Structure 1
Amino acid sequence: MVAGDKALQRTLQDTFGIRQLRPGQREVIESVLQGNNTLAIMPTGAGKSLCYQLPALKMPGVTVVVSPLISLMKDQAGKLETAGVPAAEVNSTLSTREEESVLESIRQEDTEFIFATPERLSDPDFLATVRESRVSLFVIDEAHCISHWGHDFRPAYLHLGAVIDALGNPPVLALTATATSNVIEDIGKQLGLPDMHVINTGIYRSNLHYRVVTATSEQEKLSLALALAREAEGSGIIYTATVKAVEEVHAALREAGESVTFYHGQLAAKARHQNQDDFMSGASRIMVATNAFGMGIDKSDIRFVIHYQIPANLEAYYQESGRAGRDGEDADCILLFHAKDKQVQQFFLARRYPGADDLGAVYAALQALSPEQHAVSLARVQAHLDGVSDTRLQVALKLLKDGGLLEQDDKLDYHLLRQRVKPKELKELVHTYRDKSARDHAALERMVFYAQTGFCRWKVLLEYFGEHSSWSRCGVCDNCRQPPEQALSPEHPRQQLTRAVQAPANTLQAGATVKVPKYGEGQVVSVEGDKVTLRFPDSSKRTFLRSYVERS
């Protein structure tokens, strides 16, 4: 490992009951112990939590862990407490008395770990309490939430760079299961840490079997979802893009007699917790949910994940489908594709970023609240504004900071640096998001491409995340098991997939007898690039990708 290798090994066994580290864990732990700012990209189930838990126990002071979900921090803190490691969690579920008790334990330095949401770390009073302790490590779980390019952007994460500064710039460990090159760069930029040590262990998981089933109508799609869920063995999740779809699919499954529950952000907290507990315990076999469910859940035996509607991009799809098969056993990841579902995501994208009017309203609020450049809290800005969503507000504040019009102090209060600004300047700041919006739409097109492609689905995913493999076919996705006919249109980004269709060593010539899985033997009619046209004994002709054609 590093210096103190034997002591770390003892802690690994005695505290966590683990004898051996998984691939990638050692490299991350060594980087943390060397004091490097580190970004670790590891697939779901790879043991990311241990990458901060183990080294933190060998470092002086306290470790602060930023977690996006209360359920996630409860799970992680609870496991540490069970292992005999004191951990404090600060969230909105605590009573006044419970919260004061936790804060006192932090002041007395009676805890090794402090778990908090990014929203809570934006509270100046709480941040002041944490600053009384020596913070030796700052951990950001689900770090893709920092990035505007990421699939699950959370505006509260935008303040974390200022939080790190306020805590004296301790070493940072950011953890995520997915990150494209754009997301990696943006995480460093948003945190003010452009030279983070990046450790990427890759996304490939051979036990996940990807498949796409196409529907031509909403009714057919619902029927397919019911059939797939009823045929599947074990527990599973059905993801939808909207609350309405959650309720429709849940009602249909329940009426069909399935053991099913549901989860979305509009449910009361008590109902959400109960439904999640029912799924986790096995009382309900199927969970129908929006993407509000699933981040960080520790259920290893999920045998299938079905997407009822396409997500906005492949990052979201991989993250959500990757909740299947965490035990390493085979699991099915199925996308139900109906072309009209693309419109749902286009609607969401259109509302994602603030416009010039939003930015002007936020700037005017700051002017009104700080006529003499006094400090203004986020809460006061939120209370003053009406008609600007919290997401757009926090993105607007970050834009004003990036544009040099606003700054934050170590209490995270805002100071307006200029009392006057030209409308043209605000418009220029908003234009920053034109590229982001364009890339969002390009990512949605790539998601649609994945749904329609005849290429190996794992190859498409690997290419998207900038990864390469020595093989041309995974052998477990639907396109590899049952090769489709060639059906690519010119506008598809084939240049991104050249390595996915490597030709076999044997040269194919017209007249040669070959075979294709599912279709049997046929005779080569013509060969054009990566496409081979065959004539079968029944005189039918079909065109296949070259990599699916084998010599007889």
Structure 2
Amino acid sequence: MTTTLPDSVRRLLRERFDIQRLRPGQAEVIDSVLKGHDTLAVMPTGSGKSLCYQVPALCLDGLTVVVSPLISLMQDQAEKLEGLELDPAVVNSAVGDAAADAALDSVARRDERIVLTTPEQLQDPEVIASIQRNRIALLVVDEAHCISQWGHDFRPAYLGIPDAVRALGRPPVLALTATATDALIHDIAAQLDLQSLCVVKAGLYRPNLIYAVQHVAGDDERLAQVRSLVAREKGAGIVYTATVREAERLHAGLKEAGQQVALYHGRCTAGQRRDSQAAFMTGECRVMVATNAFGMGIDKPDVRFIVHAQLPGSLDAYYQETGRAGRDGEPARCTLLHDERDKRVQQFFLSNRYPSADTLEQIVAEMRDIDAAEPLPLDVLHQRLPNVARRKLQVALTMLCEAEIARRHKDGRYSRQPGKNDAQAVQTIAAQYAERSGKDRATLEAMLHYARSGRCRWAMLLEYYGEHGGPERCGTCDSCVRAAEAARHPVEPLPESKAGASAPRFAEGDKVRARRHGVGTVVATTRERVDVRFPDGAIRRFVPRYLKREAMPAGRTTDS
């Protein structure tokens, strides 16, 4: 069913935004917001999420508060709004005290239609007090998946947003995200306390993104493949890694190969990150090598390729990061380099993700000494518990508050709730984390299955998100191209040892023979396909029945 917006809104789109036709999902979101509904918009990168609050901000009576996770993202949004003659008030730690004070004064005088701020600023009573002097028409939570501690990009500061919503009189909320499974949608709604929610999901399929997986073995081959891909592709691109160490190694390798390359990760200084981002955005550097610290909110429409040099932790992270390519609608390549050993890196990250029962008990013991009349801020608690990482402390405190062992006050400080069974609550929370760890392992397995599978890449992504109506085969990914090639050049299967025998099963390290290619080594296998590395370094994929196990020399095993 097509949503028809009022004539006044359509006229505003034409005259103010020079837009004749909206993109999928935009009309439904704008209509829901204008009717005062809490709304969650799941729209892929480049689909125009910002317009979904810009239009209501001009139509609604009152102030629109936009909460963004990154200052760089906020600056980009501010510049676009200024171009529309909709200058916002900007309140964040980067604008300086004088500018922030001036912005707050302007908000307090009701001179603004839009204020851009961060979750951290919303925990400041002075900021809340200035905003409270306005009629709040809408509160927008950008990158809303960051509020879910079960999501791939959890940011603890987002946990304070529900308190801000209540302090501002519970205005309608618009939550925006590029990707969300049904489970994540439910968690976002629960965290933001959205009781009656209108969910708008735009189609995730973007046919201009061409997906592929290449199998590698070892650091040397990884670097060689990254160099080859970057040299082959034209235009700007991003090379993602899972670790800082690998980002620095690949950055040095590409620089040595003569590429114009920048580096971005969490251990760079703020100045280094700012300079790297500026160099990439202006085209001074063609390639950015980065961890997942880079990319959220980056509006560079002409990114022509994304290379994941290491396995991401989830298909959510992978889709979000590859979605930064091809925002101009032109073809862009998204290549994953997969080494089976990369899963160990992600398994290590998962093992350190949640607080243990011992950590929870340590936090509870510390909170027993806190006077309920004098709650403590997070920074002081962190000082008292120096061996507990700040992120884990925030996650643990959230769970303790949900279990009513701790209380989070309106000003963001914490105290202990008296008369509760601490030991039982700790065990309950620890059990919840253990259950979630199991789900996280399943999420990683889904990412591994994508990397190992011979199915259409797009079909697997859409299936993961529960989206129906997409193509069974995109026709452009490596699996589809390989299937089309196989159909054009069928290969006669090798003779079986017994009539009717089932296809052989192989393990990594097995020596196998393939017709026309000779002997190679199995590097990855599933029930439906086997990837084999040949002496020339090439990795080719086969249906198992096309391969024959090669006899091992006497005295040797596949592990030798």
Task: Provide the TM-score with structure 1 as the length reference.
Answer: 0.87
Contact 1:86 1:110 in 2 (8 A): no
Q: Following TM superposition, by how much is the alpha carbon of 1:7 offset from its aligned partner in structure 2, in angstroms?
A: 1.9
Unaligned runs of 5+ in 1: 485-514
Per-residue deviation, residues 7-66 of structure 1 (Å, max 9, x unmatched): 212322333232221111000000101111111101111000001111121111111111
Per-residue deviation, residues 234-273 of structure 1 (Å, max 9, x unmatched): 1100000111111111111111101111111111111111
Q: Following TM superposition, by how much is the alpha carbon of 1:539 offset from its aligned partner in structure 2, in angstroms?
A: 13
Q: Corresponding residue for 2:118?
A: 117
Per-residue deviation, residues 322-376 of structure 1 (Å, max 9, x unmatched): 1110011100000000111111111111111112232233333333232x44343
Instruction: Please give the secondary structure, in 2, of the residue aligned with 1:299.
Output: coil
Contact 2:370 2:415 in 1 (8 A): no
What is the rounded CA distance, in whole Å, between the counterparts of 1:241 and 1:32 in structure 2? 38
Q: Corresponding residue for 2:477?
A: 477
Q: 1:544–1:387: structure 2 CA closer, same or farther, 3 Å change rule?
A: closer
Q: Following TM superposition, by how much is the alpha carbon of 1:470 offset from its aligned partner in structure 2, in angstroms?
A: 5.5
Contact 2:405 2:422 in 1 (8 A): no
Letter in 2 for 1:459: A
Q: Corresponding residue for 2:75?
A: 74
Q: Corresponding residue for 2:255?
A: 254
Q: Does 1:208 align with 2:209?
A: yes
Q: What pairs up with 1:7-18 in 2 under 5 angstroms?
A: 7-18=8-19
Unaligned runs of 5+ in 2: 504-513, 519-526, 530-541, 544-560
Q: Following TM superposition, by how much is the alpha carbon of 1:132 offset from its aligned partner in structure 2, in angstroms?
A: 2.4
Letter in 1 for 2:404: G
Per-residue deviation, residues 448-468 of structure 1 (Å, max 9, x unmatched): 111110111111111111112
Deviates more, 1:404-413 or 1:318-327: 404-413
Q: Corresponding residue for 2:423?
A: 423
What is the rounded CA distance, in whole Å, between the counterparts of 2:264 and 2:283 in structure 1? 15
Q: 1:225–1:518: structure 2 CA closer, same or farther, 3 Å change rule?
A: farther
Per-residue deviation, residues 133-174 of structure 1 (Å, max 9, x unmatched): 221111111111111232111111122222211111110111
Contact 1:39 1:173 in 2 (8 A): yes
Q: 1:392–1:523: structure 2 CA closer, same or farther, 3 Å change rule?
A: closer
Q: Corresponding residue for 1:519?
A: 489
Q: Following TM superposition, by how much is the alpha carbon of 1:116 offset from its aligned partner in structure 2, in angstroms?
A: 1.4
Q: Corresponding residue for 2:537?
A: none
Q: 1:178–1:538: structure 2 CA closer, same or farther, 3 Å change rule?
A: closer
Letter in 2 for 1:517: A
Q: 1:358–1:537: structure 2 CA closer, same or farther, 3 Å change rule?
A: closer
Q: What pairs up with 1:352-501 in 2 under 5 angstroms?
A: 352-370=353-371, 372-418=372-418, 421-469=421-469, 471-483=471-483
What is the rounded CA distance, in whole Å, between the counterparts of 1:4 and 1:229 in structure 2? 45
Letter in 2 for 1:438: G
Q: Corresponding residue for 2:342?
A: 341
Q: Following TM superposition, by how much is the alpha carbon of 1:225 offset from its aligned partner in structure 2, in angstroms?
A: 0.7
Q: What pairs up with 1:22-61 in 2 under 5 angstroms?
A: 22-61=23-62
Contact 1:68 1:142 in 2 (8 A): yes
Per-residue deviation, residues 41-93 of structure 1 (Å, max 9, x unmatched): 01111000001111121111111111111100111112112211121121111
Contact 2:24 2:203 in 1 (8 A): no
Contact 1:29 1:55 in 2 (8 A): yes
Instruction: Please give the secondary structure, in 2, of the residue aligned with 1:483.
Output: helix
Q: 1:126–1:216: structure 2 CA closer, same or farther, 3 Å change rule?
A: same
Instruction: Please give the secondary structure, in 2, of the residue aligned with 1:174.
Output: strand
CA RMSD for the aligned pairs?
Answer: 2.7
Letter in 1 for 2:395: V
Q: Does 1:91 align with 2:61?
A: no
Q: How many residues align?
A: 510
Letter in 2 for 1:120: Q
% identical aligned pairs: 45
Instruction: Please give the secondary structure, in 2, of the residue aligned with 1:309.
Output: coil
Task: Provide the TM-score with structure 2 as the length reference.
Answer: 0.86
Q: Corresponding residue for 1:127?
A: 128
Deviates more, 1:187-196 or 1:447-456: 187-196
What is the rounded CA distance, in whole Å, between the counterparts of 2:315 and 2:116 in structure 1? 29
Letter in 2 for 1:476: T
Letter in 1 for 2:288: M
Instruction: Please give the secondary structure, in 1, of the residue aligned with 2:120.
Output: helix
Deviates more, 1:39-48 or 1:17-26: 17-26
Instruction: Please give the secondary structure, in 2, of the residue aligned with 1:77.
Output: helix
Contact 2:364 2:422 in 1 (8 A): no
